[in-house]
A and B are shown apart, each in its own frame.
With several copies, the nearest count.
Chain A
């Protein structure tokens, strides 16, 4: 019996619109507290927003969008001209510790 992937879970209540849309991450697996047990993926993801030069976790969850995560640890990848960063990884709770490259 294969163990299901466990990921850190967090969605931000920034606005009603964004929060409502991001509730869809809960469909990828059951959430208890800050941990989600993935039903449909082996990938954990983190989406970060850069505010005044500092990254802030916007979403931590089981993957719903990326579909692929070759790395075991969560390496930051820039998006939209460094306004956002994302990371994907394939070990339990790996999305709690993002690795920032140079």
Chain B
């Protein structure tokens, strides 16, 4: 399904948080095979190693590499409170 990139993903938060009921946190999907377009030096070296016949090594994976925070209503024993959750929404993907 194409090269590694960002896709919208709406998840329900009702079991974890008081609010909001759902949020778009995005997710990363797609191929990280040769030729690697959005990898860093480690991913390039790792892919070259795997292409040289080491198929059993973990190959680069399409994952978020930049995030945004999400403002939520969190909870504790004393009630609810507004909280900023860092690194909650994927903003950019890469091969790592």
Direct contact of A and B (CB under 8 A): yes
A-side residues, CB < 8 A to B, are 12, 14-15, 17-18, 21-22, 24-25, 45, 47, 49, 58-59, 64-67, 77-81, 83-84, 86
Shortest distance from the beta carbon of A78 to any chain B beta carbon, whole Å:
7
- Beyond A14-B79, A22-B80, whether A66 also contacts B21 by CB under 8 A is yes
Q: Is B82 an interface residue (CB 8 A)?
A: yes
Q: Are B71 and A65 in contact (CB under 8 A)?
A: yes
Residues of A within 8 A of B15 (CB): 80-81
Question: What number of residue pairs across chains A and B have CB atoms under 8 A from each other?
Answer: 67
Residues of A contacting B: mostly: mixed
12 A-B pairs in the complex with CB atoms less than 8 angstroms apart? A15-B78, A17-B81, A18-B79, A21-B83, A22-B82, A59-B73, A59-B80, A66-B21, A67-B20, A79-B18, A80-B14, A81-B15
